[in-house]
């Protein structure tokens, strides 16, 4: 079985900027450089046949390259005990269209629709027993965080294996955005 998701990889200089935000926060398990990505859709468990069907279908997604910017920081869930610390993604119709096209392809492969609205973000850390007040200094210090714009030239189908040190991601297929 494969635990699958679809994501956009970040350029090295963008990863470096995101990693520079890491600092001591009680209960934070920071994401490693290898785990930084923008998830477009979590798929879940799939056997070899479904993985191949999904990869074939995703190759039919037609979209052109576009630019993104990362900006701002926050946490999920809002107004409750935080579980995820994140960096936001600037509004992009091209990103929303790409995510919507990927969702349609996955539905045609028999997957259940995603029930949560798409909320583009980069996970910075997973939080355990961290109170919102403990994040206030971090949020205030980094509320104006922004990266330069960067080009998105493709997306990737990944498999993920959970390990003691965190998830280990393996690229199953890359799909260039050719327009």
Share of the chain above pLDDT 90, in %: 91
CATH of the domain at 35: 3.90.1140.10
Query: Could you tell me the pLDDT band of residue 80, with boundaries at 50, 70 and 90?
Result: confident
Q: What is the pLDDT of residue 168?
A: 86
What average pLDDT does the chain have?
95
* For residue 128, pLDDT beyond 90: yes
* Structural domain count of the chain: 1
Which residue range is the domain that position 87 belongs to?
2-176
Contacts of 150 (CB under 8 A, 6+ apart): 10, 11, 13, 14, 67, 68, 69
Q: Which residues are catalytic?
A: 37, 121
Contacts of 75 (CB under 8 A, 6+ apart): 82, 83, 84, 85, 86, 127, 132, 135, 139
Query: Could you tell me the pLDDT band of residue 162, with boundaries at 50, 70 and 90?
Result: confident
Global model pTM greater than 0.85:
yes
Query: Could you tell me the pLDDT band of residue 106, with boundaries at 50, 70 and 90?
Result: very high
């Amino acid at each position: 079985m494969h635990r699958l998701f679809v994501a956009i990889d970040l350029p090295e200089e963008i990863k470096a900027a995101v990693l520079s935000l890491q600092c001591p926060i009680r209960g934070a398990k920071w994401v490693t450089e290898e785990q930084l990505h923008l998830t477009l859709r979590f798929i879940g468990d799939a056997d070899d046949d479904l993985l191949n069907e999904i990869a074939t279908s995703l190759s039919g997604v037609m979209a052109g390259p576009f630019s993104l910017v990362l900006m701002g920081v926050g946490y999920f869930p809002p107004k409750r005990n935080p579980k995820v610390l994140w960096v936001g993604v600037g509004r992009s119709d091209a990103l929303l269209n790409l995510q919507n096209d990927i969702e349609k392809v996955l539905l045609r492969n028999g997957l259940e629709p995603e029930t949560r609205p798409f909320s583009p973000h980069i996970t910075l850390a997973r939080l355990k027993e961290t109170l919102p007040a403990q994040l206030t200094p971090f949020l205030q210090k980094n509320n104006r965080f922004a990266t330069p714009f960067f080009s998105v030239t493709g997306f990737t189908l990944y498999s993920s294996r959970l390990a003691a040190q965190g998830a280990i991601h393996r690229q199953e297929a890359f799909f260039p955005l050719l327009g």
